[in-house]
Amino acid sequence: MVLRIRLARFGKKHAPFYNIVVAHARTARNSRPLEVLGTYDPKPQAPRPGDTHGRPWKDIKLDISRARYWVGVGAQPSDTAWRLLSMVGILEPQYRVGKIQGQVVRADSAAKSLVPEQTTRPAVEALDRVEEVKAVET
């Protein structure tokens, strides 16, 4: 029997809430699993009070060591579970899009946090680079 790490949908209408479970692949979605590894609340939470420029966040509870164990003994995560597990470094990400997006976010916030003096410098460097390219072309 194939073991799967997957999500079991609980919660109400328009208010989803998932258990991250280890279960046999052919059992029903919400049947009693072998183990509940954690929960995933897909509803974005508002930034915490006092967090002025805070971003909305999603609440995930996960027993990381136990998840690593189940992956080690051959449990197969579903796509969504794979995405979540790859975020904490248990698996290699299946799709790189998310990682690249994460890098973009980080680069964005880094650029925003720079003081104006430092932001002008990369612009100057970019100009230099353009000139180099022109020199190479000629």
Partner 1 sequence: MPLRLRSAKFSPSSASSQFPSCPPTRPQCITQSAQLSRDFSQTSCQQITLRRRKFYEWMNGPGRQLKEPLPDSTNYLGAYDKYGNLVRAGPGWQRNNAKKEVADNAPAMKAEEVTKDPEAEPEKAPEGQEDLDELELAIREGEAKEKDSKAASKAEKDDGKLPPETAEDLRPFPLNQYFRSQPVLSEDLREAIYKRVKKDGATVSLASVEFGVSNERVGAVVRLKQMEKEWIAQGKHLAIPYSKAVLDMLPTTPFIDPSQAANKGKRPITHEPINDLIVHPATRQQLFVPVSESRHFTRVDAGKAFDNALLPADARIPHPELIQAEREVSQGLSFDERLRLAEARLAKDQAEKKRLEDAKLAEIRAQKVVPKRRWDFVFKDVSVESVGRDGRDYKGVGWRYGVPHEDRKKGQVKIPTKVEA
Residue ranges binding partner 1 (CB under 8 A):
8, 10-11, 17, 19-21, 32, 35-39, 44, 48-50, 52-53, 55-64, 66, 84, 87-88, 98, 101-102, 104-106, 109
Q: Are 7 and 80 in contact (CB under 8 A)?
A: yes
Please tell me the distance from the alpha carbon of residue 85 to that of residue 119, in angstroms, as a whole number.
Answer: 36
Nearer to partner 1 by C-beta: 103 or 120? Answer: 103
- Residue 9 C-beta: closest distance to partner 1, Å: 9
- Residue 117 C-beta: closest distance to partner 1, Å: 22
Nearer to partner 1 by C-beta: 95 or 121? Answer: 95
- Residue 61 C-beta: closest distance to partner 1, Å: 5
- Residue 111 C-beta: closest distance to partner 1, Å: 14
CB count in 10 Å sphere of residue 86? 17
- Residue 75 C-beta: closest distance to partner 1, Å: 14
Nearer to partner 1 by C-beta: 2 or 107? Answer: 107
Nearest Cα residue to 93 out of 108, 110, 75, 81: 81
Please tell me the distance from the alpha carbon of residue 63 to that of residue 39, in angstroms, as a whole number.
Answer: 10
Tokens of 23: 């279960």
End-to-end CA distance of the chain: 66
DSSP 54: P
Nearer to partner 1 by C-beta: 44 or 122? Answer: 44
Q: Are 22 and 70 in contact (CB under 8 A)?
A: yes
Nearer to partner 1 by C-beta: 39 or 76? Answer: 39
